Amino acid sequence: MSTFGKRLRDCRKEKGLSQNEIAKILSTNHSVIGKYERDDVKPSIDVAKKLADLLNTTVAYLVGETQDNELLKDTDMLKRLKDINDLPEQDKQAILYNLDALLRDAKTRLAYK
């Protein structure tokens, strides 16, 4: 099972940041970041939110509530998702059914390239 500290360290390394760089941005000491990564200390929710924002992930990912560490930031895609979500359930299901079919087709084409 992945801990907060391991996920934090993995995200930090993926972004190419050092503990010192994160500490400087958060106005703290690098040893505090090291304690978070070793799971010696848990950050406050405010600090966890700042870390998630800095690392372009979510608090839910850092605390292990989700396996997806990618944060959707495409505003056009977010608007489309909101528009779909606001539709009546029958329309929403029809769109999602068609979208699933299109995604399957696209993935199949990619697999055979």
Domain assignment present for residue 68? The answer is no
CATH number at residue 15: 1.10.260.40
Both 79 and 58 in one domain: the answer is: no
Q: Is residue 7 a contact partner of residue 64, using CB atoms and an 8 Å limit?
A: yes
**Confidence (pLDDT) at 16:** 95
Specify the DSSP element, H or E, that contains 30: helix 30-37
Both 79 and 57 in one domain: the answer is: no
Q: Is residue 71 a contact partner of residue 57, using CB atoms and an 8 Å limit?
A: yes
**Confidence (pLDDT) at 65:** 86
- The model carries a pTM of 0.64
pLDDT digits (tens, 9 = 90+) for 56-111: 888 988 998 887 666 566 678 878 888 999 999 999 999 999 999 999 999 999 89
Both 102 and 79 in one domain: the answer is: yes
**How many domains are there within the chain?**
2
Both 52 and 96 in one domain: the answer is: no
Maximum CA extent, the chain: 53
| Percent over 70 (pLDDT), the chain | 93
**Confidence (pLDDT) at 74:** 66
Write out the residue range of the structural domain in which residue 35 sits.
4-62
Both 51 and 92 in one domain: the answer is: no
Query: Residue length, the chain?
Result: 113
pLDDT digits (tens, 9 = 90+) for 8-55: 999 999 999 999 999 999 999 999 999 999 999 999 999 999 999 999
